[in-house]
Amino acid sequence: MVAVVFWALVALATVTGIVTAWTLGANSNSPPFAPAIGANAISTMRAAFLIGILAALGALTQGGSISETVGAGLIDGATISSLAAVAGLLTATAFMAFGIYSGYPVPAAFATTGAMIGVGLSLGGDPVFDTYRRIATFWVLVPPVSGGLAYLTATLLRRDDIPETVGVPLLAGVVGGIVANVELSVVPSPPGSEQGSLAGFAAMVVGTEVAAVVLTLLVAAGSFMFIRRRTQASVDKGIKTFLVALGSVVAFSSGGSQVGLATGPLENLYRVELGLPGLLLLALGAAGILGGAWMGAPRLLQATSREYAQLGVRRSIAALVPGFIIAQAAITLGIPISFNNIIISGVIGGGLAGGSAGVSRRKIGITISFWLITLVTSVLVGYGVYQVLDAALGGQV
């Protein structure tokens, strides 16, 4: 009987995790291509196709660090069992579903983090305050950093003494240089490191860190020259090309930063109890994100693209550049984040460069309030859901 209940819970936890990933693919991964659609640089269906592929690849190659944090780094002295995984995923999914259908800003990272803390405490585990402080510090810094970077980016693009044939390629060069240093599980890495970057691989092969700097500069220069030639031929076509390229790297990053919210609760179940490789778990999450992007993203893309079209291409670029930078920083540090939090902050920062954020103080206040409410209530609900499920099963699992 116990074995039957265990495998039933494994199946339920897996399905819930995939559904959570599907929800993330349909909603959290859509903003990157909305500006390109709004500028008529790419069609909605083609954007949805690319989002699915790129976000799934990001999930496979970059999702491990955040998945481990969510699954094992939030609680000490307790392991997340199959029943606990079900409780955490059901709680997080319920919060996200409420946000989708009600229209209120419920961030997936806050809901999942809170749910897993609540479940862990319900198991008798101890809080990991150092991790909480690190996560909270990052979350608090996201709005000013994202908004500040967006403000600087928008200011650069608006300057009359810097033509778009220079300003846009400069941003492309910065993005290209960062891409060269993005850590990927498929790139060979030095001993003791699970992931490597193209720049790091060059340094490892040549035997000196100078090689990493050289490769970074070469990729940055190549990106600059490619977009500069496009903008010199046609400013409009050059900007559209950069919007599509920028949307691609941001979509890739969103997959890597969001998949851990769906796979993290299953980390102990798959890797320890079932003895399966972590790559399989990430593949399940990637499949869910892929399905969500292909099936659910087109409708949301049409809605968000209209909003970005009203923002204009400069403000859209200003919102996405910090989104890419912050998402990669979060992945490197293994910190779960709300991608919409980054984008909203970037939109506000870019708007300030034009003299008005375009977002009311009331709306900002409501958004922040719901973020805090989500975090606190998800802890309480996660705690209660596990207690109810455990009591219903009579402590058999």
Q: How many CB atoms lie within 10 A of CB 63?
A: 32
> Is residue 163 scored above 70 in pLDDT?
yes
Tell the burial category of 207 from Cβ atoms under 10 Å away from its Cβ (0-12, 13-18, 19+). Answer: exposed
pLDDT greater at residue 354 or residue 86: 86
What was the pLDDT predicted at 130?
94
Residue 374, pLDDT > 80, answer yes
In-domain check, residue 45: yes
Please check whether residue 284 lies inside any domain of the structure. yes
Note whether 214 and 163 are within 8 A (CB).
Answer: no
User: What CA–CA distance (Å, rounded) separates 157 from 92?
Assistant: 39
**Average pLDDT rounded to a whole number, residues 118-147:** 92
Predicted local distance difference test score (pLDDT) of residue 378: 94
Query: Structurally, how many domains does the chain consist of?
Result: 1
* Cα atoms found within 13 Å of the Cα of residue 322, Cβ hemisphere only: 29
Q: Which helix or strand (DSSP H or E) is residue 76 part of?
A: strand 75-76
Q: Looking at the predicted structure, is the pLDDT value of residue 174 above 90?
A: yes
- Tell me which residue range forms the domain holding 9: 2-151+251-392
Residue in 66, 79, 56, 53 with CA at minimum distance from that of residue 195: 66
- In this prediction, residues 19-40 reach a mean pLDDT of 81
Do 21 and 263 meet the contact criterion of CB atoms below 8 Å apart? yes
Query: What is the pLDDT at residue 185?
Result: 86
Q: Does 232 map to a domain? A: no
pLDDT of residue 381: 95
Residue in the block written with tokens 């000490």: 76
Q: pLDDT tier at 133 (50, 70, 90 boundaries)?
A: very high
Q: What is the pLDDT of residue 72?
A: 87
pLDDT (tens digit, 9 = 90+) per residue, 191-249? Answer: 766 678 899 999 999 988 999 999 999 999 999 999 999 999 999 889 989 989 998 99
**Three-class SS of residue 194?**
coil
185, part of any domain? no
Say which residue the tokens 């909003």 belong to.
307
In eight-state DSSP terms, residue 16 is: H
pLDDT for 66-115, tens place per residue?
A: 999 998 899 998 888 889 999 999 999 888 888 777 666 678 899 999 99
Q: How far is CA 232 from CA 100, 178, 236, 314, 344, in A?
A: 42, 24, 10, 17, 31
What average pLDDT score do residues 7-26 get?
88
Rg (CA), the chain: 21
Residue 220 included in any domain: no
Q: How far apart are CA 377 and CA 381, in angstroms?
A: 6
User: Residue 23: is its pLDDT beyond 80?
Assistant: yes
Mean pLDDT of 356-381: 77
Whether residue 240 is contained in a domain is answered as no
Ramachandran category for residue 312: left, alpha or beta (phi over 0 → left; psi -120 to 50 → alpha): left
Residue among 251, 303, 296 at smallest CA distance from 27: 296
Residue 35 lies in a domain: yes
Collapsing DSSP to helix, strand or coil, 284 comes out as helix
Report pLDDT for 60: 92
Residue 343 confidence (pLDDT): 78
Q: What is the pLDDT of residues 2-15, one digit of tens each?
A: 677 778 888 888 99
Q: CA 226, CA 33: separation in Å to the nearest integer?
A: 20
Residue 59 lies in a domain: yes
| pLDDT computed for residue 59 by the predictor | 93
pLDDT for 35 equals: 78
Q: Does residue 397 carry a pLDDT above 60?
A: no
More confident: 396 or 253: 253
Express as a percent the part of the chain with pLDDT over 90. 41
